[in-house]
Amino acid sequence: NAFAMVFAEARSSAKATGEPNIWIMKPTGGGASRGRRITLLDDISGVCYGESIVLQRYIHRPLLLDGFKFDLRLYVLVTSFNPLECFIYGDGFGRFASERYTSDPARLDNLYVHLTNSSIQKERPTAAERNEHLDSEEGGSKCRLSYVAEQLRRLGVDWEVMWEKIKALVLRSLLAVQDAIPHQRNSFELFGYDVLIDEGLKPWLIEVNASPSLARDNALDREVKDALLADTLEIVTPPYYDRAVWQEMVRWRLDQRAASEARRPARGVASAPSFEAELNALLHAEVPRARGDLPSRLGRYERLAPSALWDRIARRSARHT
């Protein structure tokens, strides 16, 4: 099949360069959530053909911090797909493995080396090596995104440049699915983006999680996720509407209908108020935010689209289609 050909080509290339030919296999349909049933393999005999799976070439040269593999959990709020309106949150997590990294084929089955999922790392044996970047009481196997940025700066990484690369990566991923998702003006989605940085300082999109876990299992979770939820609601919550005014509007219409059916004059106001007057009374003169208008309160969010960066990416894509 097609994958067998790709695998054989990758194996030949790996032999020529001396690099390992490692792949990561995940079940689809949510079966891989929280890191469950994820395996690494370097032999095609390990591929499962009895179910729907995703096979990805494993990034075997990740950027390390003191020998430990890590990735980033970021949050992206999409309020409209087509046209695109989205925001990236300025806080998030660095997720660490609990044992020092190696690409040794003999240790491919050691998930404490290769996977950063918190649900897996919290089960690490007590004999696991201590990662000084983590505080098990404060955040388990996670640390704050700002801490990762600080550590990378100490290594000479320009974090501002890296953040721009990550924003472009997020926008390209949304562009790829934009036409497949219909416009739904009264909906939104908060996505969890998992991003890995390789030793060449290139960010890679590992996966996008719909409805990411917002459980608060420790103090760090509560700090980051409580603020995330509050800032998300500031953007997506519709304007306050006066229920008393709404009830009066419904009561008036019911009276108008009953009077019409009975062919008698309605009580109270004889003619309907204008739509503008009703809306003004219902919303207390607050105007709903139109798509593309900058929200009045962003919190830690930064708007990704519409933006100049989004315009450049969309134009570049249009030229190649």
Q: Where are the beta strands (DSSP E) in 135-180?
A: 142-144
Hey, what are 27's tokens?
């079940």
Hey, what are 69's tokens?
């593999």
pLDDT above 90 (res 169): yes
Contact 219, 138 (CB under 8 A): yes
Contact 44, 178 (CB under 8 A): no
Q: Where are the beta strands (DSSP E) in 8-67?
A: 23-27, 39-41, 53-57, 64-65
Contact 15, 42 (CB under 8 A): no
pLDDT above 70 (res 35): no
Predicted confidence band at 72 (pLDDT cuts at 50, 70, 90)?
Answer: very high
pLDDT above 90 (res 288): no
Determine the residue type at 238: P
Return d(Cα 64, Cα 198) in angstroms, integer: 8
Close Cβ partners of 225 (under 8 Å, ≥ 6 residues apart): 214, 215, 216
Q: What integer pLDDT is reported at residue 127 of this predicted model?
A: 36
pTM of this structure: 0.84
**CA-closest candidate to residue 102, choices 68, 77, 74, 76:** 68
**Per-residue pLDDT tens digits for 40-71:** 888 887 787 777 888 888 999 999 999 999 99
Query: Measuring CA to CA, how many Å separate 179 from each of 80, 84, 173, 216?
Result: 12, 10, 12, 34
**Per-residue pLDDT tens digits for 118-131:** 878 876 655 345 66
**Mean pLDDT computed over 1-13:** 83
**Mean pLDDT computed over 10-20:** 85
Return d(Cα 73, Cα 207) in angstroms, integer: 10
Mean pLDDT (the chain) is 86
- Torsion (CA) 116, 121, 124, 127 in degrees, nearest 10: 60
**Per-residue pLDDT tens digits for 231-282:** 999 999 877 778 888 888 888 778 878 877 777 665 555 566 777 787 788 8
Widest pairwise Cα distance in the chain: 92
Q: What percent of the chain has pLDDT over 70?
A: 89
